[in-house]
């Protein structure tokens, strides 16, 4: 095994140690039941040999009945042990799978946005579902048949040697051949099954994209294109799975052939020895039974390693997520602040890069407590990136961000995000009622407080117009609402939190100008010391705010009021000229 393979194996297995210690007792009890069951199975051929050689050969009916009763008792013990290990294996595997999924889900929640960007969403879903199921099935199998198979193989060889050591040499000749076939099976099958998981990720990703954008697909009549895309990924998955199963399937006949040749050798040698009087018929029958048990065991061991290579590939993929470091913002640190106000925001020479590509360069500005700041700029200027740094979705590469005079790393992240409310550019609503979505802002708020926040967001009137009002059920993602309605509910959800700093990331783009003006006026009326940052594409949205920050190429190219920027900022002047004809003569309002 190469060093890289050892590293991969460690990655796939190291995270299992806490679970192994947690479920060691019931797992060991299940293995003990399994061992008892295997021992009962191994005793049967030896007892049968005595029934034939001592009872039947000597016509001793009393001995036949006694040994037959013993076989029945051994069978009952084996059945009881089998029932016990079935119960324990189901209990342990289900609890293990449940806990692993929960831990993996919590781990994903604790990852920073940089890691979430690195792990594709569809891949994370596959790891949480299919990969966990593969490992869970392997754990379940270890307590059912995976441990029993090698026990039967080793035990059958041992019992055969007790019966007749010379004849047991046939078994010892067969086992290395089978072991070599199994080892080759693992070496060839593992990389193929890992590729299957990657192919499954791709199919899940295409399916997720199609379902999320099904309206766009239908609107542009692109179903054939999406069907072709899905078909190619599906065919690749099918071809990869077929290739892996074909390689694996080629070994099963080889294993069966080797063991069956061993059975032929036992029958030939046994018949010759019986004829020579050096071996009894019952011993030959017992040897055939043990060889059959070995055949079953080796076939199962081959199947076990087929499952193992799949589980190993899945374990490595789970290990990649569990081994990812939690984002610095998600980790508690000594001396963190939880009680300060967060209304005063200051950026000091802040730079930030996505994957080595610099997005923000030396950005500096200050938004005092109770002030309003507009951020304007062309698409890709870095506006959303800038505000995503405030709740520590990402950490800055250079410079410092201070909130309430305290640098962000010193803030307790839960307290920080409680005091900073961000309404993202892409509105996200969850299935449930409108009231359920508003409770995301503040679970303990009263209905009156929810209604007040909805009034400020200009959402109360249309919500009241629904038959069920605030108890109206929303489809997935708020599909039964318009874009403007969803944005207003998202703003109300942020307002009900009563944050020190409210950030609207282009959150008024889907509402008309009249409603936008009403929302802007309402936010001024209800802010009471709250700082507000508004990202917008239209100058009309931000022109009456205390300050306007203009970004271009990730740099600050203007900071001031509407009038000062109109007089001295070329980028702002260009935006103003491009919008003046579309939005009316708002120069007259200056």
Q: What is the pLDDT of residue 560?
A: 92
DSSP state of 471: G
pLDDT band of 583, cuts 50, 70, 90: very low
Residue-level pLDDT at 338: 64
Same domain? For 296 and 350 the reply is no
Give the pLDDT score at 581: 58
- What pLDDT does residue 397 have? 80
| Span 94-145, pLDDT tens digits | 999 899 999 998 888 877 777 777 777 777 888 888 889 888 888 888 787 7
Name the pLDDT band for 17 (thresholds 50, 70, 90).
confident
Structure tokens at 89: 């294996």
pLDDT at residue 559 greater than cutoff 90: yes
Rounded-to-integer distance, Cα 217 and Cα 118, Å: 27
Task: Check whether residue 232 and residue 147 sit in a common domain.
Answer: yes
**Residue 145: per-residue pLDDT:** 75
Q: Which of 132-136, 312-316, 534-538, 569-573 has the lowest mean pLDDT?
A: 312-316
Q: Which of 458, 464, 424 is nearest to 440 (CA)?
A: 424
**What pLDDT, in 10s, does the model give residues 334-353?**
556 666 677 789 999 999 98
| CATH code assigned at 61 | 1.20.1560.10
Whether residues 316 and 393 fall in one domain: no
pLDDT at 336: 66
User: Radius of gyration of the chain from Cα atoms?
Assistant: 35
Q: Which of 265, 294, 325 is the last residue of a domain?
A: 325
Can you give the pLDDT at residue 528?
64
pLDDT at 589 exceeding the cut of 60: no
pLDDT tens per residue across span 236-275: 989 888 888 887 777 777 777 877 787 788 778 877 877 7
Alpha helices in 213-277 (DSSP H): 214-219, 223-249, 251-276
Cα(234)–Cα(228) distance, integer angstroms: 10
Residue 310 lies in a domain: yes
Q: Say yes or no: 519 and 571 in one domain.
A: yes
The per-residue pLDDT for 45 is 85
Same domain? For 419 and 315 the reply is: no
Under 8 Å between Cβ of 342 and 533: no
pLDDT at 539 over 50: yes
Per the domain annotation, does 1 fall within a domain?
Answer: no
Asked, for residue 303, whether it belongs to a domain, the answer is yes
If asked whether residues 356 and 306 sit together in one domain, one would say: no
Say what the pLDDT of residue 58 is.
Answer: 77
pLDDT above 80 (res 365): yes
Cβ distance 393 to 541 under 8 Å?
A: no
pLDDT per position as a tens digit, 453-488: 999 999 999 999 999 999 999 877 777 888 889 999
CATH number at residue 564: 3.40.50.300
Percent helix, strand, coil in the chain, to 5, is 70, 10, 20
CA distances from 404 to 110, 338, 372, 410 (A): 25, 11, 15, 11
Are residues 222 and 371 both part of a single domain?
A: no
- Do residues 378 and 469 share a domain? yes
Report pLDDT for 558.
92
- Give the chain's domain count: 2
In a domain, 340, yes or no: no
- Residues 184 and 240 grouped into a single domain: yes
Instruction: Assign 13 a pLDDT band (cuts: 50, 70, 90).
Output: low
Q: Is the pLDDT of residue 165 over 90?
A: no
36 domain-assigned: yes
Q: Which two tokens stand for residue 315?
A: 């374990």
Residue 504 binned pLDDT confidence (cut-offs 50, 70, 90): very high
Q: Among 296, 325, 354, which residue terminates a domain?
A: 325
- Same domain flag for 307 and 448: no
pLDDT bin (cut points 50, 70, 90) of residue 155 is confident
Element (H, E) at 91: helix 61-110
Whether 338 maps to a domain, the answer reads: no
Q: Model pTM?
A: 0.67
Mean of all residue pLDDT scores within the chain: 82
| Structural domain contains residue 253 | yes
| pLDDT attached to residue 555 | 93
Copy the structure tokens of residue 559.
């900071």
pLDDT for 454 equals 92
Partners of residue 357 on adjacent β-strands: 354
Whether 57 and 191 map to the same domain: the answer is: yes
Residue 225 pLDDT exceeds 90: no
Tokens of 464: 């009241």
Residue 322: the pLDDT is 85
Of 260, 294, 325, which residue is a domain's last? Answer: 325
Does residue 302 sit in the same domain as residue 382? no
- In the numeric block, which tokens belong to residue 192? 């193929």
Q: Is the pLDDT of residue 205 over 50?
A: yes
Q: Which class for 582: exposed (0-12), middle (13-18), buried (19 or more C-beta within 10 A)?
A: exposed
> Is beta strand 531-535 parallel, antiparallel or unpaired with respect to 372-377?
parallel
Whether 331 is covered by a domain: the verdict is no
> Residue 520: what pLDDT?
83
| pLDDT, mean of residues 559-585 | 82
Q: What pLDDT was estimated at residue 6?
A: 44
Task: Give tens-digit pLDDT for 45-100.
Answer: 888 888 887 878 777 888 888 888 888 999 899 899 989 888 988 888 899 989 99
pLDDT at 527: 64
Range of the domain at 305: 9-325
For a pLDDT cut of 90, what percent of the chain falls above it?
A: 19
pLDDT at 332: 58
Query: Is 50 exceeded by the pLDDT of residue 8?
Result: no
């Amino acid at each position: 095994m190469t060093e890289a393979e050892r590293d991969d194996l460690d990655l796939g297995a190291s995270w299992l140690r806490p679970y192994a210690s947690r479920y060691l007792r019931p797992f060991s009890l299940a293995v003990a039941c399994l061992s008892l069951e295997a021992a009962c199975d191994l005793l049967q051929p030896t007892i049968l040999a005595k029934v034939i050689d001592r009872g039947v050969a000597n016509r001793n009916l009393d001995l036949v009945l006694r040994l037959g009763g013993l076989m029945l008792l051994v069978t009952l013990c084996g059945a009881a042990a089998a029932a016990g290990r079935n119960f324990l294996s189901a209990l342990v595997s289900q609890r293990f799978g449940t806990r692993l999924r929960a831990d993996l889900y919590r781990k994903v929640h604790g990852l920073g946005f940089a890691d979430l960007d690195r792990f594709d969403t569809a891949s994370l879903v596959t790891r949480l579902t299919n990969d966990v199921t593969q490992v869970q099935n392997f754990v379940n199998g270890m307590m059912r048949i995976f441990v029993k198979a090698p026990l039967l193989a080793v035990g059958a060889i041992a019992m055969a040697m007790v019966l007749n050591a010379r004849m047991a040499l046939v078994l010892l000749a067969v086992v290395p051949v089978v072991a070599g076939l199994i080892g080759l099976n693992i070496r060839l099958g593992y990389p193929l099954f890992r590729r299957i998981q990657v192919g499954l990720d791709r199919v899940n990703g295409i399916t997720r994209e199609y379902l999320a954008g099904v309206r766009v697909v239908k609107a542009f009549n692109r179903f054939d294109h999406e069907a072709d895309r899905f078909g190619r990924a599906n065919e690749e998955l099918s071809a990869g799975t077929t290739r892996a199963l074909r390689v694996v399937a080629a070994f099963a006949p080889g294993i069966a052939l080797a063991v069956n040749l061993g059975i032929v050798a036992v029958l030939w040698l046994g018949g010759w020895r019986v004829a020579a009087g050096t071996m009894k018929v019952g011993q030959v029958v017992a040897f055939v039974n043990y060889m059959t048990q070995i055949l079953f065991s080796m076939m199962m061991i081959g199947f076990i390693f087929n499952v193992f290579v799949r589980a190993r590939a899945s374990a490595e993929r789970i290990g990649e997520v569990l081994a990812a470091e939690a984002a610095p913002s998600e980790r508690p640190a000594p001396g963190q602040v939880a009680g300060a106000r967060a209304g005063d925001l200051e950026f000091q020479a802040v730079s930030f890069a996505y994957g080595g590509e610099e997005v923000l360069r030396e950005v500096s500005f200050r938004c005092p407590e109770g002030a309003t700041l507009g951020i304007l700029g062309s698409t890709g200027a870095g506006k959303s990136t800038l505000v995503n740094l405030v709740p520590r979705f990402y950490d800055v590469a250079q410079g410092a961000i201070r909130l309430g005079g305290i640098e962000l790393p010193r803030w307790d992240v839960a307290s920080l995000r409680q005091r900073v409310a961000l309404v993202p550019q892409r509105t996200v609503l969850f299935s449930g009622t409108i009231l359920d979505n508003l409770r995301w802002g503040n679970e303990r708020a009263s209905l009156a407080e929810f209604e007040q926040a909805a009034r400020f967001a200009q959402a109360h009137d249309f919500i009241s117009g629904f038959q069920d009002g605030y108890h109206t059920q929303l489809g997935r993602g708020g599909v039964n609402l318009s874009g403007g309605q969803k944005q207003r509910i998202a703003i109300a959800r942020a307002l009900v939190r009563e944050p020190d700093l409210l950030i609207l990331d282009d959150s008024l783009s889907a509402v008309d100008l009249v409603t936008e003006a009403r929302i802007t006026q309402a936010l001024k009326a209800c802010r009471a010391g709250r700082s507000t940052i508004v990202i917008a594409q239209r100058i009309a949205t931000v022109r009456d705010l205390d300050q306007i920050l203009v970004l271009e190429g990730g740099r600050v190219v203007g900071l001031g009021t509407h009038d000062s920027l109109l007089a001295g900022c070329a980028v702002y002047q260009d935006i103003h000229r491009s919008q003046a004809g579309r939005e009316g003569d708002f120069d007259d309002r200056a």
